[in-house]
Structure 1
């Protein structure tokens, strides 16, 4: 038997594995238009990607009452699913370069498990996994429906519980400050990618930075031997 402990690599989704900003911005535009409200600036929307909708919507529409904010949340969900189903717009939420190859490389390692921790809903994640044929890639899938919003560590703690992996044998790969703060709170090593929705100035809680997916496996080898 191998003496190597099980390792767990947990990925954020939007801004980390896939570039979903086209769908996110489009759905947000439709949601705010449905209420006759001005659309928040692109930077404001991308700055809160990763938070649960019930947390981010009050930040984007702080002057609106709770009822309006709740309608915006539902309108966004509906618009997002509609946009994803519209194949005339071209590929929805494409992989970042090297993402699929990195996932397949890690999945092939017998002592490595893969997971996701995302602000997406269960329905939204299922649609994305189906579109990219990733249904069997992730052994633990943590979504916004069942947890407090990032950066609360609940998602990561549940991923550790489900897999039986120790915190010191897990990493969190993400693009936002919410991901890195969540990882730190859970005692997990945070790896920040530099192609996502938060600038480097917001990623101070990360232990490592990643410039391209091709560097992930070698970086993990270094982390596991530290």
Structure 2
């Protein structure tokens, strides 16, 4: 019995997004775990609890600690622009949970839905701006509590992104993602009065920003 308990203490628990759980003998480096999972990263469950979607992945040379829980997740791809890179370089700060207590699996689900919602919204706004004939940048702030409620009420990440866009449309007075950009008709031709550039980022205060300025 003593050997069995000692063996359990030397293992790290790794959870995948599909609910599958692995127990790995330690010491083991993160690089050994992700070598068979391209585009995946390892996240400490405690880091996810404190920092949410901005939790920093383990470095390849970092060791998994025994008797701890980790998440193996595939991160979505974000548009490569200066504004997004600036947000990636920000140092995450510890935030209060607001009295919400979630298990490891719940935190993993919330993490992935949040990241995918960000990715879907980026793609949606980028596509709309391109179709409109020019880039657009707008700004929107969404509290963490409201985001969590949207995640709970939505059946998938696509619906989450759609609701966030709808919220922006509502806040902008129904002007759509173009933020009310006016068009003028002259002899059957439409000319745009202005253009905006759109990008998406999460702020340090666990809020969502569609950050930007008119061009």
TM-score (norm. length: structure 2): 0.26
- Which structure has more relative contact order (CA 8 Å, sep 6+)? It is 1
Give the helix-richer structure, 1 or 2.
1
TM-score (norm. length: structure 1): 0.25
